[in-house]
Chains A and B, each alone.
Chain A
């Protein structure tokens, strides 16, 4: 059975933007032949209460996967012993302290199924020449990784470009009742 729905937004809606500051970015280059060993070591970590803020990976060349972790500085101190390639060292052959970054992320109605949202985002960022460290679209979420300190201004910028509905249906109903309007 096919159901057709028509949906159009003159300005793209989101459920709002979230900013996380004080994060660290840790890329790791792992030989594909040692990926299993690295993954096994991750499971042996005793950091059950630590939560990554973001993680992603890309094949860098035919032999390596580059995995990047974004986490809070406090968590990094507990993870750093384990977040290293089985070959030893990290991305540069040593355990670095990580690059400070901010994270801005957002999602909206069926963001994972709709075209044009990343283009809209890039255009908004380009107007103010916002430098991006990375951009990730996964499921219905868009993550923007920014140099440290740029998160709040970028959120303000994007909030002006996207539409963020400020009225929830329940609130609208209540307001309608208060106004003597019978619509729901």
Chain B
């Protein structure tokens, strides 16, 4: 086991609805089409992993749950998309930073969540941070757990998001 790993902070996200998109040999990769639809609906992608080349692709895409009705309505107009999308549970994004490209850090984070029985639905690094998608109901518990396992500064930055970005159509 390694010594405690130092990180600068942990962040948790607002709730995020999981959209799971699977394509098979009967369809092309529908991920670009989903992204087009979300753009038309002005819905942000909070997190996405899209892996594989047509015909076999799997995409996990997280959006604001408040947008579900609007997105569902639009998806329902597209038979192929509708048949390929599953609406998953409400997730939360747990982000720790910086990861410094450390596999030990990845191991410690995954082990801490796994030991607590917290399911991991997705995970991805960015330039500096490692983000894990877990059940929203266990997000704060998970953040507290990681705060215990990692070496944080004495006065770490707040875990909750400081600002909320809301995108609306500009009316002149």
Chain A interfacial positions (CB closer than 8 Å to B) = 6, 8, 32, 35-36, 38-45, 47-48, 50-60, 65-69, 79, 82, 105, 107, 110, 112-116, 118-120, 122-123, 126, 131-141, 143
A42:B100 contact, CB within 8 angstroms: no
Please tell me which one of the listed residues B48, B50, B52, B110 contacts residue A35 in the complex, with CB atoms under 8 A apart.
B110
Please tell me which one of the listed residues A35, A44, A119, A139 contacts residue B129 in the complex, with CB atoms under 8 A apart.
A139
Which of B77-85, B118-126, B140-148, B150-158 lines the interface with chain A?
A: B118-126
Instruction: Indicate whether B101 reaches chain A with its CB closer than 8 angstroms.
Output: yes
Q: Looking at the assembled complex, report how far the CB atom of A113 sits from the nearest CB atom of chain B, in whole angstroms.
A: 4
Assembly CA distance A52 to B106 (angstroms): 10
Q: What are 15 A-B pairs at a CB distance below 8 A?
A: A8-B170, A36-B111, A36-B115, A39-B106, A39-B109, A39-B111, A40-B111, A43-B111, A48-B102, A51-B100, A53-B101, A57-B123, A116-B42, A119-B38, A137-B124
Instruction: Indicate whether B39 reaches chain A with its CB closer than 8 angstroms.
Output: yes
B44:A114 contact, CB within 8 angstroms: yes
A115:B48 contact, CB within 8 angstroms: no
B111:A118 contact, CB within 8 angstroms: no
Chain B interfacial positions (CB closer than 8 Å to A) = 1-2, 31-32, 35-36, 38-39, 41-53, 58, 60, 95, 100-104, 106-111, 114-115, 119-131, 165, 167, 170
Contacts of B165 in A (CB 8 A): 110, 113-114
* Chain A residue at minimal CB-CB distance from B122: A58
A136:B101 contact, CB within 8 angstroms: no
B39:A119 contact, CB within 8 angstroms: yes
A42:B107 contact, CB within 8 angstroms: yes
Please tell me which one of the listed residues A36, A48, A116 contacts residue B114 in the complex, with CB atoms under 8 A apart.
A36
Please tell me which one of the listed residues A35, A53, A118, A138 contacts residue B131 in the complex, with CB atoms under 8 A apart.
A138
A56:B108 contact, CB within 8 angstroms: no
Contacts of A42 in B (CB 8 A): 103-104, 106-107, 110
B101:A51 contact, CB within 8 angstroms: yes
Contacts of B102 in A (CB 8 A): 48, 51-52
Given contacts A43-B1, A58-B58, contact A50 B127 (CB under 8 A): no
A138:B125 contact, CB within 8 angstroms: yes
Contacts of B167 in A (CB 8 A): 113-115
Assembly CA distance A106 to B141 (angstroms): 32
B101:A56 contact, CB within 8 angstroms: no
Q: Looking at the assembled complex, report how far the CB atom of B151 sits from the nearest CB atom of chain A, in whole angstroms.
A: 14
Contacts of A139 in B (CB 8 A): 95, 126-129, 131
Which of A55, A58, A120, A122 is most buried by chain B, counting CB atoms within 10 A of its CB?
A: A58
